[in-house]
Amino acid sequence: MNHESKKILIVEDSPVQALSLRHVLESRGLEVLWAGNGQIGLLMASQKHPDVIVMDVEMPKMNGLEACKHLKENPLTCNIPVIILTVRAEVDYVFEGLSLEAIDFIPKDAFSESVLLETLYQLDILSEKSIAK
């Protein structure tokens, strides 16, 4: 499988966090797109058809949970896996995210990069070789 053609959409309002995540993912041969809020993320998901979306919760204009709900309601985007990656790790947010069919809810902490990479491996977005880099 050619993992270089896998496309990930990061929906994150912090440019610093988005660039950091982009670096990690691009260094593993993935194509990375970035949207600064949920509204732009919905538009990009419909137009670019990424293989997976990594979504923050707290964003201006439309939060990540609301964006996830819209993604899952749209026939063009309903099958795109959504991973929630956020500092908001309260139980209510986790349950809401998972009830909206997000496939994982990863708290932003010292281990979030490793957990994200493992999740991408489980989705066959990354190969084992890519994770070891």
31-47 pLDDT, tens digit per residue, is 999 999 999 999 999 99
Q: How confident is the model at residue 131 (pLDDT cuts 50, 70, 90)?
A: low
Which two tokens mark 72? 């899952």
**Domain boundaries, position 27:** 3-131
Backbone angles phi, psi at 23, to 5 degrees: -60, -45
pLDDT at 16: 93
Number of domains in the chain: 1
CATH number at residue 70: 3.40.50.2300
More confident residue, 75 or 113: 75
Q: How confident is the model at residue 24 (pLDDT cuts 50, 70, 90)?
A: very high
Q: What is the mean pLDDT of the chain?
A: 87
**From edge to edge, which strands make up the β-sheet containing 31-35?**
31-35, 7-11, 52-55, 82-86, 104-107
Q: Is the dihedral of CA 122, 126, 130, 131 positive or negative?
A: negative
pLDDT over 90 at 95, yes or no: no
